[in-house]
Amino acid sequence: MREAMQEVMKEPPGEAALLRFGAYELDLAAGELRKSGVLVKLQAQPLKVLALLASRCGEVVDRNEIQRRVWQPGTHVDFDQGINACIKAIRTALGDRASSPRFVETVPRRGYRFIGPVVRITGRTAEPADPSLAGGDRAEPVGLPSRQATCTVPAGPVHRVLTRFTPRRTWPVVVASSALVLLAIFVLQTASTSEREPHAAPVVYGQDRLVVLPFVALDGATDSKDYLGDALTAELISQLSRRYRNRLGVIARTSSMRYKGTDKPLAAIASELGVAYLLDGTVRRSGRRLRVTAELIRAADKTSVWADSYDRTPADLLAVQSELAETIAHALAIELLPGSPRRLTGDPAAYEAYLKGRYHLSQGKPKAAASAVAHLQRALAIDPFFAAAHAALAHAHLKSPVPAKERFRAARSAARAALTIDESNAEAHLAMASIHFYRDWDVEAARHSFERAIELDPGYAEAHHGSAAYYSVVGKHEQAIAAVQRARTLDPLSPSVNSDIGWYYYFARQYDRAIAHSRTTLELEPGYYWAHRCILFSQLLKGDLALAARAAQREMDEKSVRTGQASTADPADTLARYWQWDLERTRRYSERAPVAPSTLAMIYLGMGDRERAIVAFERSAARRAGWIMPFLRVEPMVDPLRGDPRFAAVLRQIEEPALSADFGRRKRSEELLRKSSRHR
């Protein structure tokens, strides 16, 4: 048996070898397969096939080669049936599945590939007396497929750790030592993350990373008619992220959609986002027929891992999305998590209205949010129990160009309806978190909702991004920065996420880092308002008026501002012109959409008019409006006001929220909703 195994693997005589993968150990010398030291029964022929595949980890071994290497010349059998029987026996022994393989993957019409990470243990003697001697055991990776890149054994420290011990007697020590080394690598990686540029996506250890590129509409649809491709992209991202959150890191929609309509090479996109796989696709709608094509591409070698097309009626779009999500997961050899997918709706008309609403919501503009509200309300008129539509409606209301009181009341009603129908809807919990934080000023209630959203969907970039606000206003600045960095990992090209890294450094009063991150955001998104504003505020608080004036002038130049006044080298004069221009543009904007008084208050502070600033903050407190209000606890620009009794009264209103009775009673109410939804 030993000679036969060596022939299959081309091992030199006398060279004992073990192949380790997962909890399994294939002893080539003894011709035995063991799991955690316990012998696993496997007949000779399947054992040879397993040895061949495992020794060629990551490579496709075609069926002809298996026949040539495993069966002796002159053997007369049905080789196809024999190979199929061997593969079936191997999968049974390894507890593997063809539909979602962990070890042996079928490559259609070609052969098989071993996809689990394998380590080869070789030695001149079976049991060396002193494993630390040069002649002791050697551990070396056999090879890893590209999808297992996160499991690659580092060539340096881990290799030295493995070579010091005999595998059978001290394997727990090897595992512990390797874990410590990998942990150290992870810590160093994490420590360096905060210094990276926003467009350099941090690595997520233990996960493959995938981007779903915007599906292209091939029927020439544009503008509002282009909703189908965008909506399919967003829903596929959501389904993959939610279903396989512990196995797959899915880039958020904000970053994905930046590649819509571009001809950037796939390799460049993969490099920018730090992904191993790209999903590209098209949608064509003709009359009552819908054709969706999708291709999964491995970035490392630009090969197509999987491709398929679907011809359906538009009523089948939801089924197509579910089928795509499942098939892609299988193509990536991901071990699926238990649990059924959330119910969306059984009505095609409601679902199409929902997709249109999501498309408009994704535009991020107040006018588009109003259109989203209309479409989502139409979906709910058809199916009132459509939880996802209620949740999306809550977010659409939060972005609508209506007064704060009306906006938050409508959003709260929609979010509560979503949670009554489906308490496990992460998007609804995030909407409630935003309402608690920005309307109720109840930061503890917001924290619970943020945490619940993240618990339900750990890959939800917006929830991580939102949770940073809680940590910031309670003074946990390091945790705030860590939360927004996690959001950037999932959404590396989002201008708001990248800009907010700068803002959370600003609230932590680390002005140099705030400026550096904001400048990098401007490289990503030139002219981005909030990055400009962060740089300006940080320079002012550092006391560098010359650089602050330069930042103000740069923003006005980008907007082609003509103030009617001659340029001057005096920084104070430049800043005065800037604040006057900023006040005028804010007032013009208020003619199209409501502007909170607190927004004007920050401009008055820039002008040095503390009296008008306090009055504006008092008006915002009375209206419970203005995103900046919860952040007044940590906002450095308001430091000159902190000794004024009137401003102290404003802070008390923020720190002691008056709405919605006490937090404990609200939590009991939410628990009742949760229980009632489980009994439905």
pLDDT tens, residue by residue, 183-211: 333 333 333 333 333 333 333 334 578 89
Q: What's the whole-number average pLDDT of the chain?
A: 76
Q: Which of 153-157, 510-514, 608-612 has the lowest mean pLDDT?
A: 153-157
Please indicate, yes or no, whether residues 244 and 336 belong to a single structural domain of this protein. yes
Q: Which of 67-76, 401-410, 621-630 has the lowest mean pLDDT?
A: 67-76
Residue with tokens 């989002």: 494
Please indicate, yes or no, whether residues 243 and 310 belong to a single structural domain of this protein. yes
- CA distances to 18, 162, 205, 500, 660 from 664, in Å: 59, 53, 38, 31, 10
Among the candidates 152, 171, 187, a domain finishes at: 152
Q: Which of 94-103, 371-380, 402-411, 506-515 has the lowest mean pLDDT?
A: 94-103
Q: Is 253 a domain residue?
A: yes
Please indicate, yes or no, whether residues 79 and 213 belong to a single structural domain of this protein. no
pLDDT at position 186: 35
Q: Which of 210-224, 452-466, 575-589 has the lowest mean pLDDT?
A: 210-224
Please indicate, yes or no, whether residues 132 and 227 belong to a single structural domain of this protein. no
3-class secondary structure, 294: strand
* The two three-digit tokens of residue 211, written as one number: 């981007």
pLDDT greater than 70 at residue 670: no
- Domain extent for 268: 204-341
Q: Which residue has the higher pLDDT, 538 or 242?
A: 538
pLDDT at position 262: 82
* The two three-digit tokens of residue 408, written as one number: 């938050």
Q: Is 447 a domain residue?
A: no
Closest CA to 66 of 106, 8, 26: 8
3-class secondary structure, 296: strand
pLDDT at position 55: 87
pLDDT at position 109: 76
Residue with tokens 């400048």: 519
Q: Which residue has the higher pLDDT, 573 or 175?
A: 573
Ranked by mean pLDDT, the top range of 191-195, 323-327, 442-446, 559-563 is: 442-446
Please indicate, yes or no, whether residues 133 and 231 belong to a single structural domain of this protein. no
pLDDT at position 290: 74
- Contact between residue 495 and residue 521 where contact means Cβ atoms under 8 Å apart: yes
Please indicate, yes or no, whether residues 147 and 232 belong to a single structural domain of this protein. no
Please indicate, yes or no, whether residues 115 and 212 belong to a single structural domain of this protein. no
Closest CA to 113 of 49, 45, 194, 192: 49
Burial class (CB in 10 A: 0-12, 13-18, 19+), 578: buried
pLDDT greater than 60 at residue 267: yes
pLDDT at position 635: 96
Q: Give me the CATH number covering residue 270.
A: 3.40.50.10070
CB atoms within 10 A of CB 63: 17
What is the helix (H) or strand (E) element at residue 283, kind and residue range?
strand 277-286
* The two three-digit tokens of residue 421, written as one number: 């129908």
Closest CA to 335 of 96, 592, 555: 96
Q: Is 66 a domain residue?
A: yes
Please indicate, yes or no, whether residues 9 and 142 belong to a single structural domain of this protein. yes
Q: Is 116 a domain residue?
A: yes
Q: Residue range 428-441: average pLDDT?
A: 94
Please indicate, yes or no, whether residues 142 and 232 belong to a single structural domain of this protein. no
pLDDT tens, residue by residue, 625-644: 899 999 999 999 999 999 99
pLDDT at position 321: 66
pLDDT at position 570: 86
The pLDDT-based confidence of 133 (bands split at 50, 70, 90) is very low
CB atoms within 10 A of CB 668: 10
Please indicate, yes or no, whether residues 48 and 144 belong to a single structural domain of this protein. yes
Please indicate, yes or no, whether residues 145 and 225 belong to a single structural domain of this protein. no
Among the candidates 307, 326, 341, a domain finishes at: 341
Q: Is 113 a domain residue?
A: yes
pLDDT at position 124: 38
pLDDT at position 178: 38
pLDDT at position 322: 63
The pLDDT-based confidence of 518 (bands split at 50, 70, 90) is very high
Amino acid at 421: I
pLDDT at position 678: 52
Please indicate, yes or no, whether residues 235 and 333 belong to a single structural domain of this protein. yes
Q: Is 385 a domain residue?
A: no
Q: Is 418 a domain residue?
A: no
CB atoms within 10 A of CB 596: 20
Q: Residue range 84-109: average pLDDT?
A: 84
pLDDT at position 372: 93
Among the candidates 289, 306, 341, a domain finishes at: 341
Closest CA to 404 of 624, 617, 592, 616: 624
Q: How many domains does the chain have?
A: 2
pLDDT tens, residue by residue, 332-346: 544 333 333 455 677
CA dist., res. 410 & res. 401, Å (int): 13
Q: Give me the CATH number covering residue 129.
A: 1.10.10.10
Q: Which of 309-318, 644-653, 665-674 has the lowest mean pLDDT?
A: 665-674
Q: Is 192 a domain residue?
A: no
pLDDT tens, residue by residue, 456-483: 888 889 999 999 999 999 999 999 999 9
